[in-house]
Structure 1
Amino acid sequence: MCSVIHLEQLNQAYGKEVVLKDIQLQINKGEIYGLLGPSGSGKTTLVKAIIGGLTPISGLIQVDAVQMPNLKKLNDIGYMAQADALYDELTANENLAFFAKLYRMQGSYRKRRITEVLQQVGLLSDKHKRVEHFSGGMKRRLSLAIALLHEPKILILDEPTVGIDPVLRNQIWNSFEQLKKAGVAVVITTHVMDEAERCDRLGLLRNGSILASGTPNALKEQAGVATIEEAFLHLGSVQS
């Protein structure tokens, strides 16, 4: 497989608090890679470092063999943060049009992509509604649409399905699998076990360290257990 994200001995700290410790990670083109761990485990810090939002205190981050941070490389990345960065006074359509201009998307292509992503996240009928009237789940879906808008080669999503109902969540995961088939690398942080099972590979993250990385089945076999939750607990206790 072709590696698109490569991390070597990545360390990050906020003051004296070390939040990422010697992270070694490789994520490939056309796979869904999940970062699984509880709140405070370092998942958000790790994805922010990958997109260049943080400069590590030591270690290497490469995206498509380009060392991060790199502003030009951001055009190849779609990022959805935990906190929605939306303009409440604008409609869903206007929010997407604004971000499309930032990505220098033009004319018919811009209009087509706005319609496609609204359809993809189930918001097409709400495109003229102002975001201030959206529910929390609708705002999450619009944030996902923005991340998908410019057809990125790498999609990095920080707990993208929080607050989204189970039926739509399944539809969104089906769309992730279609993106994977198209060669997109999808990186997802989650603490939801059934989502972890749908990833091609997982990194189990606790206290800023990756306890183990591999397919869900391989991790369960390594721990000698039946579920990912049990594997996480077992591998964490072994390394404590």
Structure 2
Amino acid sequence: MTRSESGTTVDILRTLLTRFRTRRTIHHMMSSSVDELPPGPVDAAIDIADLRVRRGGRIALDGVTLRVARGAITGLLGPSGCGKTTLMRSIVGTQIVSAGSVTVLGLPAGCAELRHRVGYVTQNPTIYPDLRVVDNVRYFAALYGSEPSDVDDALAAVGLDDFRRSLAGNLSGGQRTRVSLACALVAQPEVLVLDEPTVGLDPVLRADLWDRFATLARHGTTLLISSHVMDEADRCEDLLLLRDGRLLAHTTPTRLREDTACQSLDEAFLSIIRRDIAAAPA
């Protein structure tokens, strides 16, 4: 992506988010750590207390408690099957929970008032392959009651202007992920939840997507992004480390390195896991 294209993308995202703020009053607070948040669920974008979820007869989430700062990129990290997707589904309100509470923007997760305020991009892009790219985004714009100009802004924000008339089914995996992201952005959400959006992408595409995520966060959007690729953790302000349905740590990249005396985040995460295993009852 050239410097000119990067500047254009930033301008488009700034326009889109500025228009959004004129429609709604947003409380925006930047924080590099959950520890800097004042008490109270209204101060956090996401507030979860003692969340328990059972799926298929097994415990998927076991007493998870956490708070996600507004306007920050929070990485949700852990091995496959650790509960990342279940936690995200609980946050967007599509998961039946056994116990505990999930509050998003001061409201119960999944309530009607959050429909336009929370965006969710699943690992498998939820788009219509037999429709053109622009028609996919128009469809979601109609559902959200967005304006026609929001469709153009969303497509430009994810770098798909040149593919707007292409059939979604003919696109590459990375491009389909961008279409799915545009479908979420057209609602101009305050919170954006992304389930492993960079899986299967080459390093160049991964870096480009993360640059776009950073631009969104700089303009007030709260992003929760799951990954099992630890080198992406350095792009996050906060980190949530999950294992076997339990929250092992809520930290930052710098603090994780300091606490484990490991420079590699892969090694740091392994160190946290070893501590957890050692502390488990025999």
Measured against the shorter chain, the TM-score band is over 0.9
Q: How does 1:22-33 map to 2 (within 5 A)?
A: 22-33=63-74
Q: Which has the higher mean CA deviation after the structures are superposed, 18-27 or 118-127?
A: 118-127
Q: Report if the CA contact (8 A) 1:225-1:231 is conserved.
A: yes
The aligned counterpart of 2:28 is none
Segments of 4+ moved more than 4 angstroms: none
Q: CA deviation at 1:174?
A: 1.7
TM-score by length of 2: 0.80
Between the two proteins, the alignment pairs up a number of residues equal to 236
State how 1:30-45 maps to structure 2 within 5 Å. Answer: 30-45=71-86
Contact 2:46 2:69 in 1 (8 A): yes
- The answer as to 2:184 corresponding to 1:147 is yes
Shift of 1:190: 0.5
Tell me the distance in 1 between the aligned counterparts of 2:135 and 2:213.
25
Give CA-to-partner distance per residue, 1:79-138, whole Å, 9 cap, x none.
1011211111100000000000000113xxx2x222222222222111101112112221
Query: Pick from 60, 63, 71: which aligns with 1:19?
Result: 60
For structure 1, which segment, 117-126 or 55-64, has the greater mean C-alpha deviation from structure 2 after superposition?
Answer: 117-126
Secondary structure, counterpart of 1:205 in structure 2: strand
Aligned counterparts of 2:202 and 2:229: Cα–Cα separation in 1: 13
Structure-to-structure mapping, 1:12-161, within 5 angstroms: 12-106=53-147, 110=148, 112-161=149-198
Q: What TM-score, normalized to structure 1? A: 0.94
Shift of 1:4: 1.1
Structure 2 unaligned regions, length at least 5: 1-36, 38-42, 278-282
CA distance in structure 1 between the aligned counterparts of 2:112 and 2:229, rounded to whole angstroms: 32
Work out whether 1:203 is the aligned partner of 2:203. no
Task: Output one character per residue of 1:200-236: Cα deviation in whole Å (capped at 9) or x when no partner.
Answer: 0101111111111111110111112112111110111
Kept after mapping to 2: 8 A contact 1:140/1:162: no
For residues 8-49 of structure 1, the C-alpha deviation after alignment (integer angstroms, 9 at most, x for no partner) is 000001142001011011001111000001110100000000
Q: 1:69, 1:99 → 2: CA distance?
A: 18
Cα distance between partner residues in 2 of 1:131 and 1:15: 33
2:213 maps to 176
Q: CA deviation at 1:171?
A: 2.4
Letter of the aligned partner of 2:171 in structure 1?
A: F
Percent pairwise identity: 37
Kept in 1, the 8 Å contact 2:117–2:190? The answer is: yes
Which residue identity does 1:34 align to in structure 2? G
Rounded to whole Å, the distance in 1 between the matches of 2:244 and 2:203 is 29
SS at 1:145 equivalent: helix
Alignment of 1:213-224 (within 5 A): 213-224=250-261
Q: Give the superposition deviation at 1:139.
A: 0.9
2:247 is matched by which residue type in structure 1?
A: I
Q: CA RMSD in A?
A: 1.3
User: What's the offset of the Cα at 1:163?
Assistant: 3.0
Cα contact 2:174–2:205 (8 A) shared by 1: no
> What is the identity, as a one-letter code, of the residue corresponding to 1:207?
D
- 1:47–1:156 CA contact under 8 A, matched in 2: yes
Q: Within 2, Cα distance between the matches of 1:49 and 1:193?
A: 23
AA of the residue aligned to 1:188:
I
Query: Is the Cα–Cα contact under 8 Å of residues 12 and 19 in structure 1 kept in the other structure?
Result: yes
